[in-house]
Structure 1
Amino acid sequence: MHPEIHLALHHARAAELHAEAVAYRRTVKPGRPLRTRVGWTLVEVGLRLATPRPSPAPSVSS
């Protein structure tokens, strides 16, 4: 494949992907800001790490 054809195909595909991304951004409702979501995720992870796990039940041997 000639480099010019490859470059033209690359530009065409990039334009298609850009158009899809713009259309997707217009249809998706803006949710909570990223900073808020990351913050609450970190709080959840911290709570999981800080909470002791219950000790396993003793195994019954016959």
Structure 2
Amino acid sequence: MHADIHLYLHELRGEELRTAAARRLPREPLRTQVGWTLVQLGLRLVQQAPVGTTRLA
């Protein structure tokens, strides 16, 4: 395959991939939601008394 054609095909495929990526939903809101869910889970685990002990209230 001629080098110019090979380079053109790579550029064309790269443009197709960039276009497809731009149409997808951004991932940031999902990452933020998962992160906060993990924080809430961690806080719940910290608030629970360890197994085999009682809370002093």
Calculate the TM-score normalised by the size of structure 2.
0.49
Query: Hey, which of these two has a bigger chunk of helix by percent?
Result: 2
Higher RCO (CA < 8 A, seq sep 6+):
2
